[in-house]
Amino acid sequence: MHHECGLIGLYHVDQAATKTYYGLYALQHRGQEGCGIYTCDEQSFEGQKSFGMVRSVLEDKVEKLEARGARNALGHCLYVSKENHLTSNLQPMHFRHMRAEFALASNGSLLNQEQLCAELQQNGAIFQSTSICEILAYLLVQNKDKFLPALTSSLQRLVGSFCYVILRRDKLYAIRDPLGMMPLALGRLGEGWVIASENCAFDIIGAEFVRDVEPGEIIEISANGLSSTRFAERQKSAICLMEYIYFARPDSEIDGINVHLSRFRAGMQLARESFAPSDLIVGVPESATSTARGYAEECGVPFDQGLIKNKYSGRTFIESTQTRRDLAVSMKLSPIHPLVKGKRITLVDDSIVRGTTSRQIIAMMRRAGAREVHMRIASPKMISPCFYGVDTSSYDQLIGSTRSTEEICRCIGADSLAYISNEGLRRAIGRDSVCDACFSEHYPTPLFDYKNIIDAEKERRARCHTGNEKDLEKTL
Ligand code: AMP
């Protein structure tokens, strides 16, 4: 199952449940489908979780969670595709076993999940969810070593992009996969500690950023303080480029790079690479706002808020049908007519996946009287599926997998379309050690369960080369 979620763990902190709630509130952009908090003291674990946004699910529950004065807590907000929208997938998950009791929350995706699932079931596991939490939990308890060595060898079995935070009665663990594909930050709060997917969760609770959790690292926090061990050798990391482009909040800093500034620089780079003469630069709110500002700064054309985002709208991207996605985009975004009328507009967005958003907003701009609409995209063309957490796991979801830029331009109805170059984006972000699989088809890990998708696509392309046009039509 693919997940991009938000995690937060607090250790030895007063009002741990309340602070976890605020931290989750700051991480809401990482998962809007569900959320939960578990607390624990010497006696027991206590938890609340449900589908829905952080505020609506947890606001009334925090007081109850706070009642026992627990100083350790774990929180999670869930981003999940429609087919995995199961109650059993809500996190944190609480596991009680003769060898260990713990609450566990995760972010990411295991590429060898099917294989591990089969093996664990042979040994008696009964899975209730499709979550990668259960995989780690079963690996852990089927290992007869003490907790940390068992955890270390369990993690060595996992292939993919993952972060885990584990809460035991007296300890908190933070884990980031060997390639560091997703962010995880460590902070200090008074005498206590905080772990969070992004350090934007620290300000709101008064915590100070200490450092990023390292790829392949296990941090263990206990009454004795913090200790660090590794479950994987140091290697060149591969953070997901989409974290900088789309997922993370602009005020977060990931591996030493501020997200807003990296987007701003990407906008400047995009303008250098593919400037279109225009009267106004408009960013698609909100993830492309920083990028559009950078674009405008570089080309000297005014930037304005030509598109407004309805604050109360949900996520359009994972709606289940095209009609619902279309409707969701028009419920979410609307143009400011007098700003747009009679002008040549350059629209800047972070990505084109299916093309739904671009097509709709270009049509909106034209209805509002725009004379020309040029589309500029701050990521390279998405040509291949992501199996690591972004919810695009098949070729036919991607307009860029079968169409040329000119064809996409016609499909979305733009006067011109350009994407940032892969090279240019890396330079703008300021790091080379990234995962760009969705733009390059170069996957940084073995593919296991997903290899058949790539093989089938290769076969389809080979058939298309031999002139079977019907196959080419399939994905259009
Ligand atoms: P689409 O409308 O299908 O072309 O998707 C592109 C839009 O969805 C962009 O405006 C992005 O901001 C947003 N987006 C890109 N990737 C994701 C994702 N993994 N989850 C949710 N939204 C996304």
C-alpha dist (Å) from residue 448 to 161, 238, 400, 401, 473? 13, 18, 24, 21, 28
**Contact partners, residue 226, CB within 8 Å, separation at least 6:** 193, 219, 220
6 in Cβ contact with 31 (< 8 Å): yes
Asked if residue 284 has its Cβ within 6 Å of ligand 1, the reply is yes
Q: Looking at the predicted structure, is the pLDDT value of residue 475 above 70?
A: no
pLDDT bucket at 2, cuts 50 / 70 / 90: low
Regarding the beta carbon of 443 and ligand 1, being less than 6 Å apart is answered: no
Confidence of residue 320 (pLDDT cuts 50, 70, 90): low
Q: Which of 353, 398, 435 to mutate to test the pocket of ligand 1 (most atoms within 8 A of CB)?
A: 353
- 324 C-alpha vs ligand 1 centroid, how far in Å? 14
Q: Identify the residue whose C-alpha is closest to ligand 1 atom 22.
A: 317
Determine the atom of ligand 1 nearest the C-alpha atom of 4. 19
CA distances in angstroms from 24 to 36, 135, 197, 310, 383, listed in the order given:
9, 24, 10, 21, 33
355 C-beta closer than 6 A to ligand 1: yes
Report which ligand 1 atom has the smallest distance to the Cα of 79. 20
CB count, 10 Å around CB of 43? 9
Mutate to test the pocket of ligand 1, among 29, 263, 287, 317 (most ligand atoms within 8 A of CB): 317
CB contact at 8 A, 10 and 206: no
Return the structure tokens found at 147: 């907790």
C-alpha 343 to ligand 1 mean position (Å):
26
CB atoms within 10 A of CB 209: 17
| Residue-wise pLDDT tens digits, 237-247 | 999 999 999 99
φ/ψ (deg, to 5) at 6? -115, 135
pLDDT per residue as tens digits for the range 274-312: 999 999 999 999 899 999 999 999 999 999 999 999 988
Which one of 241, 357, 384 would you pick to mutate in the ligand 1 pocket, going by the greatest count of ligand atoms within 8 A of its CB?
357
For ligand 1, whether the C-beta of 390 sits within 6 Å is yes
Q: What is the pLDDT of residues 409-453, one digit of tens each?
A: 999 999 999 999 999 999 999 999 999 999 999 999 999 989 999
Share of the chain above pLDDT 90, in %: 85
Strands (E), 12-86: 34-40, 45-51, 72-78
> Measured from the CB, is residue 79 less than 6 Å from ligand 1?
no
Q: What is the pLDDT of residue 397?
A: 86
Q: What is the pLDDT of residue 95?
A: 98
Q: Verify whether ligand 1 is closer than 6 Å to residue 357 (CB atom).
A: yes
| pLDDT value at residue 54 | 97
The C-alpha angle 112, 118, 123, rounded to 5 degrees, equals 125
Cα–Cα distance between 62 and 47 in angstroms, integer? Answer: 10
303 lines ligand 1 (CB under 6 A): no
For residue 330, what pLDDT is reported? 85
Q: How far is the CA of 349 from the centre of ligand 1 (A)?
A: 9
Residues 6+ positions from 142 with CB-CB distance below 8 Å: 120, 123, 125
Enumerate residues 6+ apart whose C-beta is below 8 A from 248: 183, 198, 200, 254, 259
Q: What's the CA angle centered on 43, arms 38 and 46, to 5 degrees?
A: 20
Query: CB of 6 within 8 A of CB of 20?
Result: no
Tens-place pLDDT, residues 15-71:
999 999 999 999 999 999 999 999 998 889 999 999 999 999 999 999 999 998 999
Catalytic residues: 5
How many whole angstroms from 48 Cα to the centroid of ligand 1?
Answer: 30
Q: Please, what is the average pLDDT of the chain?
A: 93
The answer to whether 374 and 425 have CB atoms below 8 angstroms apart is no
Exposure string of 8-31, with b = 16+ CB inside 10 Å and e = fewer, is bbbbbbebbbbbbbbbbbbbbbbb
Report the pLDDT value the prediction gives residue 3, as an integer from 0 to 100: 65
Predicted model pTM: 0.94
pLDDT the model gives residue 94: 98
Ligand 1 binding pocket includes 232 (Cβ within 6 Å): no
Ligand 1 centre from 352 Cα, in Å? 7
What are phi and psi for residue 165, nearest 5 degrees? -125, 130
pLDDT band at 393 (very low <50, low <70, confident <90, very high): confident
pLDDT digits (tens, 9 = 90+) for 153-191: 999 999 999 999 999 999 999 999 999 999 999 999 999
| Confidence at residue 469, expressed as pLDDT on a 0 to 100 scale | 43
